[in-house]
Amino acid sequence: MRFTKMEGCGNDYIYVNGFEESIPQEEKPKLVQKLSDRHFGVGGDGVIFINPAPEADFEMEMYNADGSRAEMCGNGIRCVGKFVYDKGLTDKRRITVISAGKIKYLDLTVEDGNGQNGGRGTVSKVRVNMGSPVLEPELIPVIAGGDRAVDEPIRVDGRDYRMTCVSMGNPHAVIFAENVAKLDLERIGPGFENHERFPKRTNTEFAEVIDRQTVFMRVWERGTGETLACGTGCCAVAVACVLNDLTDDKITVKLLGGELEIEWDREKNLIYMTGPAVTVFEGCLPGPEA
C-alpha cells in the first residue's frame, strides 16, 4: 500500500489514494491505529483516505489516530488539496471536497517552482471556505442550558472553567486562559474530551489572546491527544473570540506548529482558513493483512 505523509502546521496525517488502493471498510480502523503509531508505524495524527465522490471533486475520509472516524480537519483538508493537484488528480485550482456529508470549497495557491511537477508547479498554500459555524448546543453537540454555549461554566476534574462551544463540522470547546504555553494538557485534556456534557466527546482549545488580531492556541484533539495544530480548532477559536468580544473578525492564530489566518465573514456567516500544506515523504507498506 502506497502512502504520502503530509502536514499542515505540524498537524500530520498519512494520506492514501483511494482511487488506487482498495481497503475493506471494516479493516480501516485497525489499519489506521497501526499506521498512526509513532513507534511501530509511519506515525501521524491519523489517516486520511482520498476517494472519488459523486457530490464533489473528491471525498476526504478521515480517521483519528485511535481508529475512530472524524468529521473534519482543517489542516487535513488543505493537504488533500495539495495532494490531488500535485499528484495530477485534478488540474483545477478551485476544488470541492466532501467529508462526512459536508462540502468544503478550496482555493489552491500554486507555485511554479522552476518547472517542478512537469511544469504544473506545486501547491504551497490553501484557502478553505469552512462554511458556517454551528452554535446550537444540540447540534455541536454539548449539553448546555441556553440556545448558545458562550462563556458557559463547566467543572472538570474539580476545577471551574468557562467554555465557548462551536462546531465546525466537529465539536469544539474553547477555553480562554493565561500562560497557555505552560498548561499540562496531558493531565487536563482527557477530562474535557470525555466529559459527560459532550455526547460525542470534544476537541478542546486553550486560547490566550495576545491582541485584537492575534491569539496563541494549544489543542487537545478528540481521539488523538495534543497536536501541533488544529484547523477547525482555529476556526472555533476565532468564532469564540468574536462572540466574547476579544478580537476582530480576522485574526492570526499562533500554534505550536505554525500560524493560520482565520476570518469570519459575519455578513455571509462563513469562516475562511488560509495556511500551508507540505508533503513530508512518501513510501510503500504491506497491506492491512500484514
Active-site residue numbers?
73, 230
Task: Report the DSSP beta bridge partners of residue 220.
Answer: 204, 226
Dihedrals phi, psi of 2, to nearest 5 degrees = -85, 150
Dihedrals phi, psi of 249, to nearest 5 degrees = -75, -20
Dihedrals phi, psi of 229, to nearest 5 degrees = -165, 160
147 burial level (CB within 10 Å; 0-12, 13-18, 19+): exposed
